[in-house]
Amino acid sequence: MGKAVNILIVEDVRADFLLIKRHLEKHLLHSRCRSVSSLGELLTAIDESGWDVVLSDYNLPGVNFAEVLATCQTRLPEVPFILVSGSVGDERAVELLKLGVWDFILKDNLVRLVSAIEHGLQKAAERRGRRAAEEALLESEEKFRKIFQSSPDPIMIAPLHEGCNMDVNDAFLDFTGFSLPEVMGKTFLDLGLWLTGEDRETFGSALKATGSLKAFETRFQTKQGIRSVLLSADTITLRQCPCMLIVIKDITELKRSQQERALVEAQLRQGQKLEALGTLAGGIAHDFNNILGIIMGYAELSRMETEEGSSLGNNLREVLNASERAKELVKQILTFSRRSEDRKLALQLGSTVKEAMKILRPSLPSTIEIKTEVLSESTVLADPTQIHQVLLNLCTNAAHSMRDRGGVLEVSLEDIVVDDEHAQPLKSIPPGHCVKLTVKDTGHGIDPAIIDSIFDPFFTTKGLGEGTGLGLSVVHGIVQGHGGIIDVESTVGKGTTFTVIIPALEAANEAVEKEIAAPLAGGKERILVVDDEPILARMLMQMLTRLGYNVFFRTNGLEALEVFESQPFDLVITDMTMPHLTGADLAIELSKLRPGVRVILMTGFSEKIDAEKAKKLGIQGFIMKPIILKDLADLIRKVVDKEN
């Protein structure tokens, strides 16, 4: 042995001590021995420390061997304690070995003493190693326990076989809503966290195949409700018990945020798409209105020259009827593009909803139950006709989805208050008092694959001849034109809910307008018609000539200025969109030549002008194309007869 072995010998007989010492010096080259003969000497020697082995006699006068053994076991627990005696029988020796003596050597046969010491030293080293490992393990587990408990993420340790308890940290209890007694003694499966068995099986199979798992996304049913989570799992050993360590990352709010961001983005894309389509639709409507105006004007002129009831007269009437349908279609396009002229009144929506549902009821099959709940008496600034159109379109679509099996159509109206917190997601809705209209059905629902397209113009799921596909796009345009928003939620097989929110007026008086039928008004005034469509200009000239007016026409603003300078006119009727000089610019130039000149502005579509803007420019009349003769005739008399 390379290192000197320090041996403490408890022996009261000097000769026996020397015998043992000489034997050790002869056979154990590097050894240092010291003898003690009393308990007090033993305690003093122990305090000096550095002992590798204790050799003790059994019969010590005045000293209890049991006390010696107990003292060494307490003060020198890792030091081999070997009994060296000549008066202990085999049975007693076995008892002493059970009490903690490491080995037993007879004084008259010391042959085995050195090997017993060497074996004891080896055994002590192993014990120290195990103890160090145990202490390191305990220290490691203590560090793990601190990290385990202080982690903000829920953690659970699930045993892989019986006999081990589940362990969870405080974050797990907060996350699930369980108390510690509810968890202890339970398995992962017992807690019923898994929302679906399929997810549980997929998780188990993946973990079994790899031994670990990272970022497995699933949902848990906790006492706090359903939560979206990411699971990371690994197999570990704690106190010789194989376990599965599962770390839970709660991503519910993150998922909700992502979904909201993907939605208020989808809505932005939808708005941009609708804006682009609206511009296109408005441009098409402008050109189509001119063509339609020519068709309607000449059909009206021709019908005036035919006998009532004649075959030709009937044919022309059908042309005019078809033209009226086309005109309404153009109005829908312009409504979609939010560029149509409307007349907004202070309107109590509750009354409008009740009236619309009365009109709708007879047209729906008896298999559809209608429930109407009007809880609002608020007033909004709205066009009654357009609001009717919104209700009828939404309800008709809802009824169409329930036509096969029947169902329930629910229409409700209620007051809501949009505060600052909710105004941001709603974007176009300012904080304040609003009215919420809900149209809900129990029909077949809308396929998620097409729900983003339902507000697109001409998009429809109806068959040929069942609709133009403009219904929801028109509704969208009307709602936005009233400063509101429209939203849809749908579940396939369960139904669809449309929600419309419109700002309310705090106080307003409802205006009622009545139209009084009257014959076509005419006159003798001189009128200048300006339109870059020659056919349309000539048609207007003929129409107004039939009413008795003295009419001239020009096809551009520059020619109109030239003739206006040289001749007197009582009225100028001009198109808005013309090359070189717009109708609005022409009106300004005309007023410079003759202040107070009476002008009527015509337009099928223009982003630059509407009735309000025209009025601010000093233009006395504004009319939308295609022109209806009666409307134009009435407007002419209103403008011409008005006092300056």
Q: Which stretch, 32-46, 181-195, 259-273, 352-366, has highest mean pLDDT?
A: 32-46
Q: Identify residue 315 by its one-letter amino acid code.
A: N
pLDDT tier, 269 (very low <50, low <70, confident <90, very high otherwise): confident
**Structure token digits, residue 379:** 């007033």
What mean pLDDT is predicted for residues 136-140? 71
How far apart (Å, rounded) are the C-alpha atoms in residues 365 and 369?
Answer: 9
CA-closest candidate to residue 453, choices 202, 204, 610, 273: 273
pLDDT in tens, 148-177: 888 888 988 877 765 555 788 889 999 889
pLDDT in tens, 467-476: 444 568 778 8
Position 32 scores a pLDDT of 84
Residues counted in the chain = 644
Residue 291 has pLDDT above 90, yes or no: no
Residue 69 and residue 99 in contact, taking contact as beta carbons nearer than 8 Å: yes
Position 421 scores a pLDDT of 56
Residue 134 has pLDDT above 80, yes or no: no
Position 520 scores a pLDDT of 81
How far apart (Å, rounded) are the C-alpha atoms in residues 446 and 495?
Answer: 8
pLDDT in tens, 530-539: 998 888 888 8
Q: Return the H-helix or E-strand segment holding 325.
A: helix 311-336
Phi and psi at 148, nearest 5°, equal -60, -45
Residue 451 and residue 445 in contact, taking contact as beta carbons nearer than 8 Å: no
How far apart (Å, rounded) are the C-alpha atoms in residues 219 and 259?
Answer: 16
Residue 287 has pLDDT above 60, yes or no: yes
**Structure token digits, residue 590:** 């005309």
- Among 34-43, 84-93, 242-251, 515-524, the minimum mean pLDDT is found in 515-524
**Structure token digits, residue 209:** 């195949």
Position 473 scores a pLDDT of 77
- DSSP conformational letter for 87: S
pLDDT in tens, 431-481: 889 999 999 999 988 888 787 777 776 555 554 444 444 568 778 888 888
Report residue 6 CA to chain centroid gap.
76
- What is the average pLDDT value for the chain, to the nearest integer? 81
Residue 424 has pLDDT above 50, yes or no: no
Position 410 scores a pLDDT of 94
Residue 344 and residue 478 in contact, taking contact as beta carbons nearer than 8 Å: no
Residue 352 has pLDDT above 90, yes or no: no
Give the contacts of 12 (CB within 8 A, at least 6 positions apart).
Answer: 37, 57, 60, 61, 63
Residue with the larger pLDDT of the pair 492 and 510 = 492
Question: How many DSSP H helices and E strands does the chain contain?
Answer: 20, 22
How far apart (Å, rounded) are the C-alpha atoms in residues 537 and 602?
Answer: 12
Query: Is the bond into 431 cis (omega within 30 degrees of 0)?
Result: no
Give the chain's domains with CATH numbers. Answer: 5-128 (3.40.50.2300), 151-259 (3.30.450.20), 261-331 (no CATH), 345-503 (3.30.565.10), 526-640 (3.40.50.2300)
Position 208 scores a pLDDT of 79
Position 527 scores a pLDDT of 94
- Among 135-139, 571-575, 596-600, the minimum mean pLDDT is found in 135-139
Residue 533 and residue 290 in contact, taking contact as beta carbons nearer than 8 Å: yes
User: Is the model's pTM score more than 0.75?
Assistant: no
What mean pLDDT is predicted for residues 576-598? 89
What mean pLDDT is predicted for residues 389-394? 87
What mean pLDDT is predicted for residues 261-289? 69
Tokens 């919104």 belong to residue: 390
How far apart (Å, rounded) are the C-alpha atoms in residues 619 and 577?
Answer: 15
Residue 501 and residue 488 in contact, taking contact as beta carbons nearer than 8 Å: no
Round the CA-based radius of gyration of the chain to a whole number and report it: 50
CB atoms within 10 A of CB 211: 10
Residue with the larger pLDDT of the pair 515 and 374 = 374
pLDDT tier, 643 (very low <50, low <70, confident <90, very high otherwise): low
What mean pLDDT is predicted for residues 611-620? 83
Residue with the larger pLDDT of the pair 585 and 616 = 585
What mean pLDDT is predicted for residues 339-346? 61
Cα end-to-end span (Å), the chain: 131
How far apart (Å, rounded) are the C-alpha atoms in residues 499 and 364?
Answer: 21
**Structure token digits, residue 255:** 């998922």
What mean pLDDT is predicted for residues 221-243? 84
Q: Return the H-helix or E-strand segment holding 125.
A: helix 113-150
Tokens 């993946």 belong to residue: 206
Please give the C-alpha separations between residue 112 and each of 94, 97, 103, 108, 152, in angstroms, as whole numbers: 17, 17, 10, 11, 61
How far apart (Å, rounded) are the C-alpha atoms in residues 339 and 458?
Answer: 18
Give the CB-side neighbour count of residue 132, counting CA atoms within 13 A. 7
Q: Which stretch, 129-133, 307-311, 549-553, has highest mean pLDDT?
A: 549-553
**Structure token digits, residue 502:** 């419109």
Report residue 85 CA to chain centroid gap.
85
What mean pLDDT is predicted for residues 478-490? 88
The beta-strand segments (E) located in 160-205 are 167-168
Q: Identify residue 5 by its one-letter amino acid code.
A: V
CA-closest candidate to residue 68, choices 3, 140, 117, 12: 12
Residue 350 has pLDDT above 50, yes or no: yes
